[in-house]
Amino acid sequence: MNMIQAINSAMDVMLTRDPNVLIFGEDVGYFGGVFRATEGLQKKHGVTRCFDTPIGEGGIVAVAIGMGAYGLRPVVEIQFADYIYPAFDQLVSEAARLRYRSAGDFTAPMTVRTPYGGGIFGGQTHSQSPEAIFTHVSGLKTVIPATPYDAKGLLIAAIEDNDPVIFLEPKRIYNGPFDGHHDRPVQPWSKHPASDVPDGYYTVPLGKAAVVREGADLTVLAYGTMVHVALASAEDAQIDAEVIDLRTLLPLDIDTITKSVEKTGRCVIVHEATRTSGFGAELSALVQENCFHHLEAPIERVTGWDTPYPHAFEWDYFPGPKRVVEAMRRAMET
Amino acid sequence: MNMIQAINSAMDVMLTRDPNVLIFGEDVGYFGGVFRATEGLQKKHGVTRCFDTPIGEGGIVAVAIGMGAYGLRPVVEIQFADYIYPAFDQLVSEAARLRYRSAGDFTAPMTVRTPYGGGIFGGQTHSQSPEAIFTHVSGLKTVIPATPYDAKGLLIAAIEDNDPVIFLEPKRIYNGPFDGHHDRPVQPWSKHPASDVPDGYYTVPLGKAAVVREGADLTVLAYGTMVHVALASAEDAQIDAEVIDLRTLLPLDIDTITKSVEKTGRCVIVHEATRTSGFGAELSALVQENCFHHLEAPIERVTGWDTPYPHAFEWDYFPGPKRVVEAMRRAMET
Amino acid sequence: MKNRKPLSLRIPEPEARPGDRPDFSGMQVPEAGIVRRPDPDAPDHEIRDLAYSLIRVLDDNGQAVGPWNPRLDPETLRRGLRVMMLTRAYDDRMYRAQRQGKTSFYMKCTGEEACSIAAAFALDRDDMCFPSYRQQGILIARDYPLVTMMCQVYSNECDPLKGRQLPIMYSSKKDSFFTISGNLGTQFPQAVGWAMASAYKGDDRIAASWIGDGTTAEGDFHQALNFASVYRAPVILNVVNNQWAISSFQGIAGGEETTFASRAIGYGLPGLRVDGNDFLAVYAATEWAATRARDNQGATLIELYTYRVEGHSTSDDPSRYRPSDEGKAWPLGDPIDRLKTHLIALGEWSEERHEQTQKDVVEQVRAANKEAESHGVLGGDKKPSVKTMFEDVYEEMPWHLRRQRQQLGV
Amino acid sequence: MKNRKPLSLRIPEPEARPGDRPDFSGMQVPEAGIVRRPDPDAPDHEIRDLAYSLIRVLDDNGQAVGPWNPRLDPETLRRGLRVMMLTRAYDDRMYRAQRQGKTSFYMKCTGEEACSIAAAFALDRDDMCFPSYRQQGILIARDYPLVTMMCQVYSNECDPLKGRQLPIMYSSKKDSFFTISGNLGTQFPQAVGWAMASAYKGDDRIAASWIGDGTTAEGDFHQALNFASVYRAPVILNVVNNQWAISSFQGIAGGEETTFASRAIGYGLPGLRVDGNDFLAVYAATEWAATRARDNQGATLIELYTYRVEGHSTSDDPSRYRPSDEGKAWPLGDPIDRLKTHLIALGEWSEERHEQTQKDVVEQVRAANKEAESHGVLGGDKKPSVKTMFEDVYEEMPWHLRRQRQQLGV
Ligand SMILES: Cc1ncc(C[n+]2csc(CCOP(=O)(O)OP(=O)(O)O)c2C)c(N)n1
Ligand SMILES: Cc1ncc(C[n+]2csc(CCOP(=O)(O)OP(=O)(O)O)c2C)c(N)n1
Ligand SMILES: [Mg+2]
Ligand SMILES: [Mg+2]
């Protein structure tokens, strides 16, 4: 399966297993979503289980919260992460707070799926990576898959989780593990082992990172599309880098990170989001707090620039292998 | 003047100097604002220059953007920073983006004033510190004063600035420089030199930090209420700490920070906001990127816990002198 | 050169400010009983007039008149009266407690008791309520223990919310009372979602929500009405128009141009405008909307026309922005007085019984408060264990919160 | 045990899906000319009926009839026709350019040309427009250079927006055309703010904004109407109801329960429902609202009833969710054909002149495109300098952006 099919399969499985799961969002019903993630689900499970909503992200999330309070497990789609902001208050002040403020009396067991990231010439309002702001909100979990296998397993885990989960989908790798070499043809997922996705139910636990490449000299922390960029960069740079796919940003798998950096003594953090106050800042802070005495070089951050995502300059903006390799080299030099 | 009077004076001065300045928000008109920041301004300058709005933060900011596009310099008040989220989309997708997406054709020269922070038993929806998320949004400037003098000078600079400015007011120190010793009486501002505020026009430039205490052994980075907590902590700990009041979070005064940490080799960052992905993370990342080879101890972060602000546990939550002193000691030990 | 006249910006102003004599001359108060009562399944476009009238049952002599008279038995009326009196006594006591420094904050619903209590009476106990901070009457109507409410207000060791919430932000799932939010209006579309869930499950419970006139300006108000309309959600959406939003009068929320009930029209929903100080009218309107919702006809918007007699909260001083005697001048009277007069007119009540009941409720509140205070007040040392501060952020505590709890050494 | 019947969740469905025959039988199309035209200063509560009717001027024989006939001179009509034809030719060319891989994305307004162009004709050139992405007709009506529009679409070296924006997100302050946002609806309350500023300054310019039927569901729609009502802002708020929001029909936005024009009623604003494919009706309604606004009577909500003939954008395939021949079945016809027929009926136009004009506009577009392409297309090397990517984030570039630019080595 490619990542879209894996995500579709996760929802199909959960719709089948749990009558309290239902899916709604803009264009997700009859049409099956602008990225086809819900294709066929309405036809198979019925209009009340997968349906279109008005274009009101705030309403979509609010309604999901109310349904969660009733006892359902809504899975909503925000068509692009760039359009999640109208729902920000309901996410931050409500979904994230219900359990705490009611001392467990009410909860919001909901999942918010949304495609994020650039590299598709979507311009500044179809390319953003807002993950950092959600990691700043206590009460929310933030999950980002990098492969079809993880996407399905993590999404099922998110749907079954009793806390609200922001599930960010790296749209650039829906169809193939794009590694940042935009001048080369992209491999389809079918050529990638992680596209071997079971049809049935399985989970990938939230809060656990994956070491996707073992290495001794340097640790690369990445998630989503950037995992593949990091892997390609390690090859390009011919550096024995350990690449960690975080998979869940919050709660973070700090042990896997610490273990690796204590071993390598060097760390490069890669994300597509704007640099200042991006999640890379938190990762950098945590690594230096936990591994200070093991660090042999400054922690490097390779990120999107602190500008909107400019339509004509995708590849100057996108933190591709060239920039990651440079950062790896800098980290190795010291 | 106390900080409220200084803020009031800044708006009074600008209303007098510039007919394009106008002020609006919830309860800011006849009543003068729930914290009295706009007291007397409607009476003095007229109802069309300082007026009440519907309780729609999204509308307030949107209307300010439209007015900015016309050529006015609106100054809006969001009653509590906790209530700025309904306006988040207009701030992030619009105010912050106008200049860039129109290549300078349209701009949003607006100021958003909002009281933030805890220590007043306001519970979780009157105590939040959301500054970090604004620093992640390219196109916004984020300013936080720590004294009446700076509050007036920075607010005037913000109003005159041609970019949108989020002006966060530490409500805990509106009336006096609370230093975190909640068991002791708070000094009124009148006893503090920075309460000596000129009646007329002056500015404190955006983007410049202030070294409010010189020291050789350790650098403390703080802003807002925490500046006074940091100063008290330095005294309590009897450590020769250099305390830097950032004043503007973005654009940040990196030179002042770097110079200090290169001198001291030790750094403690203090903020009231929740820890994970708070602005302290960015500061920590920047300090280790810029001063790695000067660092003699891990950079410490003393922050609010990653929970909502609990009503009954203000002083267990608030990062007061005790915790700051512990962090300073830890930093000195290594 | 065009010669067009200059535009000017209009800022709404209330009729009266401090120093002025209260002025409600602009307010039309139709006679009780004159508004028609269509069947609860009437098409919305045939009943738009109800959004511009004022449904009233109790006339000036305390008689219940007209088609909206719910014909409640005296026992129910007496219970309603008692709950309103108890709620007011509770408010008075808690207000004083705040003034005595026993807690940080309090909000009364004085003069608005019927808006929550009559509605609670018309709903079933298991209908889910999404209130604002001014519907404490619902909990009291549902016999939620006063002591527990007080413990929440005091954030003490028996506070079911473990000292986490601002006073009056109650929550009780077992009483179908949703956790109150400090963020205005968020509960309105959440109630719609709950109602959609109930419909989705083939349940028969409906939802109801309350917001204030000022809060109608939030985007969530629009989300609620639109989703309710599109999915025909079984929900009752109440706007408690008490004329004020802290210091700004309802005209700043758009109430000068038309009625809040009429907001329903643009969504194809029925809008009822109701005398919020008339227990019977509020009951009848709620019952009508509940019947409609249970019949799968969808949502109703109800504007409850009332007056906020006291300050917005203990942090507020209304004499700074409105005539202090405005409350006395309010044309729709007081909900307790009016129901009392009605019961007496029916021969089902007397001054003596009323006085006795007043004594009883005050005593009941006093006793409850004594017990509540024995569990501690804000700032005292009888409070939930600090440890709990780190709980319930997530179902399971992640490592970073565990580490932070250790740092605090609890 | 209660015995109440179970609730059920209702999900709106369109009349026809792929494979079905298009079905507009449910749609009422009143005769042209029958709707009354009140004075532009009529009180809103006396003209609520206009929100439920359909203002039409052009009848089936191309005659302009009824009180809304704006009585435009033939020259103006011919100009209007030409601008609509030019806009359609421009759309066709740019659509092809996207298909040819010369840009990433494009959006047509085919069938909706009158909604923007007739309105632009009725407004003054310096009235400020806050459009959505489907009102390119405004720029063309204001003689904005086609070449410059194309350069924006190609993100090339002459793109005034320096390659930063998605194609069609034009901006031109000097033409009173606000920078288009990718975020739906945000411009609606911004237009209100601009109008309030104009009123505040005693200016005489008004604002106008356009959003789609689907976008009315955003909270910003409510903010716009509420602020416009409260401050009586001189603004025209247009809802272009083209029946579809990508794949979801207008019923999902609430259009099945009532009209979008009727949303105005709950704010005490006039709501006009207008045949959006009737150039004269759109002109007349806009003129009416503009007169009202300039007279300090405040805002008007106009629902422009039309049909999105083409896909939502080049990324869309409408045959997946609606009958592909639905556009042909649309009862209100095509705005260009209808104005053409009218002009011919007036004896002011002919098939020959029409064909000639068609040739002219196609040629004009071809020539413009030739020039635009000479400045580069997306993906080519003729584009703005990469350096500029870091500019205009702030008025002055802060150190961190300067440092980032150095890192990129530009
Ligand atoms: C989103 C948000 N904005 C602002 C506030 C501050 N605030 C609290 S109550 C209030 C007034 C509400 O007035 P209304 O809706 O009429 O309710 P009432 O207090 O009259 O019952 C305001 C502005 C808030 N709590 N939440
Ligand atoms: C806030 C936001 N949510 C979602 C989208 C994605 N989106 C773009 S256009 C569109 C449909 C809009 O439909 P409508 O308002 O009817 O305008 P039309 O395209 O028909 O002119 C959607 C959902 C967006 N751009 N912004
Ligand atoms: Mg009110
Ligand atoms: Mg549409």
Ligand 1 atom nearest residue C184's Cα = 26
Residues of chain C contacting D200 with CB distance shorter than 8 Å: 9
Mutate one of A70, A138, A250 to test the C interface: name it (highest C CB count within 10 A): A70
Return all residues near A320 (Cβ < 8 A) that are at least 6 apart.
A180, A181, A182, A229
Does the pLDDT of residue C4 top 90, yes or no?
A: no
Backbone angles phi, psi at C314, to 5 degrees: -65, -15
Question: CA A33 to CA A13: how far, in whole Å?
Answer: 18
- Asked if the Cβ–Cβ distance from D248 to A313 is below 8 Å, we say no
The pLDDT tens digits of the residues spanning A55-81 come to 999 999 999 999 999 999 999 999 999
Backbone angles phi, psi at C115, to 5 degrees: -60, -35
Compute how many other C-beta atoms are within 10 angstroms of the C-beta atom of residue C377: 22
Q: What is the pLDDT of residue B100?
A: 98
Residues of chain C with pLDDT > 90, as a percent, come to 99
Reported as type and span, the H/E element at residue B111 is strand B111-116
CB B140 within 8 A of CB B166: yes
CA-based nearest distance A306→chain B, Å: 6
Q: Which residue of D has its CA nearest to A305?
A: D404
Compute how many other C-beta atoms are within 10 angstroms of the C-beta atom of residue C323: 20
Collect the ranges in chain D with pLDDT lower than 70. Answer: 1-2
- Asked if the Cβ–Cβ distance from B103 to D220 is below 8 Å, we say no
Mutate one of B24, B61, B63 to test the D interface: name it (highest D CB count within 10 A): B63
Question: CA C97 to CA C90: how far, in whole Å?
Answer: 10
Q: Which subunits count as partners of chain D given 3+ CB pairs below 8 Å?
A: A, B, C
DSSP state, A91?
A: I
Nearest ligand, CA C215: 1
CB D147 within 8 A of CB D161: no
Asked if residue C217 has its Cβ within 6 Å of ligand 1, the reply is no
Q: What average pLDDT is seen over chain D? A: 97
Compute how many other C-beta atoms are within 10 angstroms of the C-beta atom of residue A46: 13
Question: CA C183 to CA B297: how far, in whole Å?
Answer: 42
Distance from Cα C13 to the centre of ligand 1, integer Å: 19
Distance from Cα C133 to the centre of ligand 1, integer Å: 9
ipTM: 0.98
Residue C3: band (very low, low, confident or very high) from pLDDT cuts 50, 70, 90: confident
Distance from Cα D202 to the centre of ligand 2, integer Å: 35
CB A22 within 8 A of CB A68: no
Tell me which residue has tokens 């390799």.
A325
The pLDDT tens digits of the residues spanning B172-185 come to 999 999 999 999 99
Question: CA B190 to CA B6: how far, in whole Å?
Answer: 12
Distance from Cα C214 to the centre of ligand 1, integer Å: 6
The pLDDT tens digits of the residues spanning D161-193 come to 999 999 999 999 999 999 999 999 999 999 999
Return all residues near C62 (Cβ < 8 A) that are at least 6 apart.
C338, C341, C342, C344, C345
Question: CA A90 to CA A93: how far, in whole Å?
Answer: 6
Q: What is the DSSP string of D71-137?
A: ---HHHHHHHHHHHHHHHHHHHHHHHHHHTTSSS-----TT-HHHHHHHHHHS-TTSEEE--TT-HH
For chains B and C, what is the number of CB pairs under 8 angstroms?
125
What is the strand order of the sheet A300-304 is part of? A210-213, A241-245, A218-222, A267-274, A300-304
| Tokens coding A228 | 């593949």
Q: Residue D312 is which amino acid?
A: H
CA-based nearest distance B13→chain D, Å: 19
Residues of chain C contacting D44 with CB distance shorter than 8 Å: 257-258
Mutate one of B20, B28, B30, B183 to test the C interface: name it (highest C CB count within 10 A): B30
Residues of chain D contacting B71 with CB distance shorter than 8 Å: 197
- Asked if the Cβ–Cβ distance from A125 to D320 is below 8 Å, we say no
Q: Residue C155 is which amino acid?
A: S
Backbone angles phi, psi at A14, to 5 degrees: -75, -35
Would you give the distance in Å from CA D101 to the centre of its chain? 26
Residues of chain B contacting A58 with CB distance shorter than 8 Å: 86
Nearest ligand, CA C305: 3
The pLDDT tens digits of the residues spanning D90-106 come to 999 999 999 999 999 99
Question: CA D394 to CA B97: how far, in whole Å?
Answer: 10
Residue nearest to atom 11 of ligand 1 (CA): C245
Nearest to A229 by CA among A111, A118, A141: A118
| C-alpha pair distances (Å), A279 with each of A282, B183, C38 | 5, 37, 58
Q: What is the pLDDT of residue C184?
A: 98
Tell me which residue has tokens 């603004």.
D235
Q: Which residue of A has its CA nearest to C179?
A: A102
| Angle A243-A249-A252 from CA coordinates, rounded to 5° | 85
pLDDT (mean) for C64-91: 98
Q: What is the pLDDT of residue A131?
A: 98
Where does A3-147 have alpha helices with state H?
3-17, 41-45, 57-70, 88-89, 98-101, 131-135
Question: CA A52 to CA D321: how far, in whole Å?
Answer: 12
CA-based nearest distance D377→chain C, Å: 41
Does the pLDDT of residue B334 top 90, yes or no?
A: no
Closest CB to A67 among C196, C226, C394 = C196
Residues with CB under 5 A from ligand 3 (ion): C 212-214, 242, 245
CB A290 within 8 A of CB A254: yes
CB D188 within 8 A of CB D197: no
Q: What is the DSSP string of B66-100?
A: HHHHHT-EEEEE-SSGGG-GGGHHIIIIIITTHHH
Question: CA D191 to CA B111: how far, in whole Å?
Answer: 19
User: Of all residues in chain C, what percent are helix, strand and coil, respectively (each to 5)?
Assistant: 45, 10, 50
- Asked if the Cβ–Cβ distance from B56 to C218 is below 8 Å, we say yes
Where does A198-253 have alpha helices with state H?
225-237
The pLDDT tens digits of the residues spanning C122-136 come to 999 999 999 999 999
| Tokens coding D187 | 């411009």
CB C84 within 8 A of CB C335: yes
Q: Residue B182 is which amino acid?
A: H
Ligand 1 atom nearest residue C134's Cα = 21
Distance from Cα C261 to the centre of ligand 3, integer Å: 14
Q: Where are the beta strands (DSSP E) in D267-354?
A: 271-275, 300-305
Q: Which subunits count as partners of chain A given 3+ CB pairs below 8 Å?
A: B, C, D
Q: What is the pLDDT of residue D117?
A: 98
DSSP state, A73?
A: E
Asked if residue C312 has its Cβ within 6 Å of ligand 1, the reply is yes
Q: Residue D324 is which amino acid?
A: S
CA-based nearest distance D55→chain A, Å: 27
Greatest distance between any 2 Cα atoms in chain B: 60
The pLDDT tens digits of the residues spanning C259-307 come to 999 999 999 999 999 999 999 999 999 999 999 999 999 999 999 999 9
3-state helix/strand/coil string of C287-311: HHHHHHHHCCCCCEEEEEECCCCCC
Distance from Cα C56 to the centre of ligand 1, integer Å: 27
The pLDDT tens digits of the residues spanning A163-181 come to 999 999 999 999 999 999 9
Return all residues near D132 (Cβ < 8 A) that are at least 6 apart.
D180, D184, D187, D210, D211, D212, D215, D240
Nearest to D326 by CA among D338, D339, D305, D308: D308
| Tokens coding A146 | 């990098």
3-state helix/strand/coil string of B148-205: HHHHHHHHHHHHHCCCCEEEEEEHHHCCCCCCCCCCCCCCCHHHCHHHCCCCCCCCCC
Does the pLDDT of residue C200 top 90, yes or no?
A: yes
Q: Which residues of A belong to the active site? A: 126
- The radius of gyration of chain B's CA atoms, rounded to the nearest angstrom, is 19
In terms of phi and psi (left: phi > 0; alpha: psi -120 to 50; beta: otherwise), the region of B302 is: beta
Closest CB to C219 among B58, B125, B308 = B58
pLDDT (mean) for A285-306: 98
CB D134 within 8 A of CB D116: yes
Chain A residues within 8 Å of chain D (Cβ atoms): 26-27, 29-31, 34, 47-48, 51-59, 82-83, 85-86, 121-126, 275-276, 305-308, 310-313, 316-317, 323
Q: Residue D147 is which amino acid?
A: V
CB C78 within 8 A of CB C85: no
| Tokens coding D333 | 């016809």
Q: Which residues of B belong to the active site? A: 126
Q: What is the DSSP string of A175-197?
A: SS---S-TTSPPPPGGGSGGG--
CB C136 within 8 A of CB C149: yes
| Tokens coding A82 | 């760039």
Bridge-based pairing of strands C300-305 and D128-130 is unpaired
Q: What is the pLDDT of residue D3?
A: 75
Would you give the distance in Å from CA C15 to the centre of its chain? 25
For chains B and D, what is the number of CB pairs under 8 angstroms?
141
Ligand 2 atom nearest residue D250's Cα = 16
Question: CA B132 to CA B116: how far, in whole Å?
Answer: 12
